[in-house]
Structure 1
């Protein structure tokens, strides 16, 4: 899929950072970072543990404020309540036994936009809400999970429902925070293929955070590496190199390629 910095008819790009600085307490997540996420791009977001991948996504959502500079989403300053962004947070909690798949998605329509739902009871949603739930279930291939209790689903099946939640409201940008966490390699490949199919079908931009870039090879258009307050965006072959990652990690890094995989080895 070809990507360009601007969308149709010169539309502003999904995400633009202009000398953006983001701090949480005394910790600097980004320092005067400037980059542009092109329209329709599939971007893998990587970096060492604690580098701030989640914080960057929360800054794009407007949850974490920008200390200096600017983060814009489709030409407007990042801020809460954006319906053109779909967000899939990391899911650490235990499934709610009383909820089935359909109820879980329905709760996000009029409860919490991102994360665990608030109270929802079958029959409360209107007819167009039911159609929207059917639409996102179909998009993620999860119609068969609609009446299954959450606590009886596998990790991969729950990820499909979380992705369905993120697609409510027809967003133009998807932020996926570690959707492969705790999945075995087969289920991880299935999730990546599903996200790629949805991206191609809807023509939306995707920021996909992960600790391992290998599942995204051949799918992502660009990689965004963050570390030590800096960010580097570009094609894999330009960013995933010894000098670039050594600077971002703050230690000597060796990038090893073999068997169609990439391994990042650090001295520390």
Structure 2
């Protein structure tokens, strides 16, 4: 993947992110595949969407799975996350059952799982990627986050060049900016794997360039897998 040599006006305005020294989770054991599917099949009732799929993703890979809408890509993501179980075959993530290692997987969904009317700031949206102590106050703020959690969220926002917008409401961002915040939310827990479902949906062409610049920079420190129907963007 080529890295484009220009700034990203749809981001916070300061160009490419600066990726600090990697601090993501080490993989369990030399040579252990990050993702391994063997003979996997899945069907919704009688409609088969995946048949005898084999897939192996190694540490450090940056992989795109391309296919048409309705071709089973989101089903594949749900199998990797452990949200679905295969009808046949096996799915292993980091050498284990997907559900058992779910905290080690950073997931960026196709659509933001944040209600548009919920008055969450960019900083708070990233904090949602961390486990918190206690529940929400009536104000909608999170008392259980420690100072180090808040600092970690800011550090991660700097990684994706969104720190200057930390106090802005999430629903006021552009599509490209929202996607970068969702990447930060996925990264804040130091995952071993980043998993994307249709990352370029609802993003304009310049926003796509910004996003792939970011992913190209991140790929030196973390394994990345994305599923997409957008062949042109995925081959950039």
CA distance in 2, matches of 1:10, 1:103: 36
Partner of 1:172: 192
CA distance in 1, matches of 2:84, 2:152: 29
Unaligned runs of 5+ in 1: 2-6, 112-117, 219-268
Aligned counterpart in structure 1 of residue 120 of structure 2, from 64, 84, 99: 99
CA distance in 1, matches of 2:79, 2:61: 19
- Match of 2:90, SS? strand
* RMSD of aligned alpha carbons: 2.4
Aligned counterpart in structure 1 of residue 41 of structure 2, from 4, 15, 21: 21
Aligned counterpart in structure 1 of residue 167 of structure 2, from 127, 142, 147: 147
Partner of 1:115: none
Say yes or no: does 1:160 pair with 2:180: yes
Deviation at 1:95, TM superposition (A): 2.6
Give the conservation status (yes or no) of the 8 Å contact 2:94–2:101: no
CA distance in 1, matches of 2:109, 2:100: 15
Deviation at 1:49, TM superposition (A): 1.2
Compare 8-17 and 178-187 and name the one that shifted more: 8-17
Say yes or no: does 1:213 pair with 2:231: yes
Partner of 2:52: 32
Compare 31-40 and 12-21 and name the one that shifted more: 31-40
Say yes or no: does 1:88 pair with 2:117: no
Partner of 1:132: 152
CA distance in 1, matches of 2:110, 2:76: 14
Higher RCO, 1 or 2 (CA under 8 Å, sep at least 6)?
Answer: 2
Deviations 1:189-210 (CA, angstroms, capped at 9, x unpaired): 110111111112x2x1111122
Larger C-alpha radius of gyration, 1 or 2?
1
- Match of 1:29, SS? strand
Deviations 1:162-202 (CA, angstroms, capped at 9, x unpaired): 111111211111111111112111111110111111112x2
Partner of 1:189: 209
Unaligned runs of 5+ in 2: 2-26
CA distance in 1, matches of 2:96, 2:180: 30
Give the conservation status (yes or no) of the 8 Å contact 1:29–1:56: no
Deviation at 1:83, TM superposition (A): 1.6
Give the conservation status (yes or no) of the 8 Å contact 1:20–1:30: yes
CA distance in 2, matches of 1:72, 1:41: 16
TM-score (normalizing by structure 1): 0.70
CA distance in 1, matches of 2:83, 2:94: 17
- Match of 1:187, SS? helix
Compare 124-133 and 173-182 and name the one that shifted more: 124-133
CA distance in 2, matches of 1:126, 1:96: 26
- Match of 1:82, SS? helix
Deviations 1:211-253 (CA, angstroms, capped at 9, x unpaired): 22222325xxxxxxxxxxxxxxxxxxxxxxxxxxxxxxxxxxx
TM-score (normalizing by structure 2): 0.79
